[in-house]
Amino acid sequence: MLAALAPLASLAAAQIRPQSIVVNPGPAVTSLTLIDADTNRPVPGYDPIPPAATLDLSKLPARLNLRANTAGPVGSIRFGLDSKSSYRVENVAPYALCGNNGGAYVACPSSVFSPGHHSVSAAAYTGANASGTAGSGVLVNFNVVRGNTAGGGRPPVTIHSLTLIDADSGRPVPGYDPIPAGARLKLSALPRHLNVRANVAPGVGRVRFVWENGQTRLELGVPFTLCGDQPDRKTRKDHYFACDPGVFSPGEHRITVTPYATWSPNVSGPALIWVFSVER
């Protein structure tokens, strides 16, 4: 509120300086960093870990960990690893996938960085033990190799992320491309008809979606969508079908998304587990 109004002449002569309004952000995970657990320092080239990164164990420190980089009032971080949506919860910074002792990082078990495809999610909360208000998070997919054993040069079978689609326009919903980890979907602020697209690596030829009730859907070609699509011959664009209202009914939901290789339907990559909540 202004205490007094300046005369018009004064306003005309005044030099107006630009100002910015700072709004306190909610809790957020902005990225993940690969940590050398012996030196407690980031591994060069992996701060942050780039999307769909390849980690060559022959060129990396022997003992590794992952750190969640955060912003806002964070009370805790929930990590997911591959098929485990809740691998570890950290209440104190630095927030590490495999823990730390007063800032000294604990080396992850070898299985965390075993050769193959892996995905790590990190979601932020205002309270301890993944309680309070859930903020935004990240999902990072990466491929681990050892020397020249990179799978015969075949492309990775990985799901990079999921995108919320406005089924009427066929375009991503702003703020949900990709969908952040631990997302809360408020229906009143979203388009009426929705679908979800899986964003995949070149080695993916089909994708299977499994709902929490056991319902499944197998998509055999791009775009790989949760509720289906059909190409429009006239516009040469994909027409996204709207999901049944039950898919986005209020409450907690869990959908497992598994990619399969282009060269064999029997070869699968790591499943992405999407845990989200819906409110009106």
Residues 214 and 140 in one domain: no
Q: Which residues fall within 8 angstroms of residue 151, CB to CB, at 6 or more apart?
A: 145
Q: Does the structure show a pLDDT above 50 at 2?
A: no
- What mean pLDDT is predicted for residues 147-154? 58
Residues 138 and 191 in one domain: no
Domain-ending residue, one of 111, 145, 179: 145
Residues 214 and 116 in one domain: no
Better pLDDT: 249 or 150: 249
Residues 271 and 248 in one domain: yes
- What mean pLDDT is predicted for residues 112-135? 91
What pLDDT sits at residue 148? Answer: 57
Residues 136 and 210 in one domain: no
**CATH at residue 266:** 2.60.40.10
- 5 within some domain: no
Domain-ending residue, one of 116, 145, 174: 145
Residues 173 and 266 in one domain: yes
- Rounded to whole angstroms, how far apart are CA atoms 186 and 143? 34
Pick from 65, 141, 147: nearest CA to 110: 65
- What mean pLDDT is predicted for residues 130-156? 78
- Rounded to whole angstroms, how far apart are CA atoms 159 and 239? 22
Domain-ending residue, one of 95, 113, 145: 145
- What mean pLDDT is predicted for residues 9-29? 50
- Rounded to whole angstroms, how far apart are CA atoms 246 and 239? 21
Residues 171 and 80 in one domain: no
- Rounded to whole angstroms, how far apart are CA atoms 216 and 199? 18
What pLDDT sits at residue 7? Answer: 40
Domain span holding position 271: 159-279
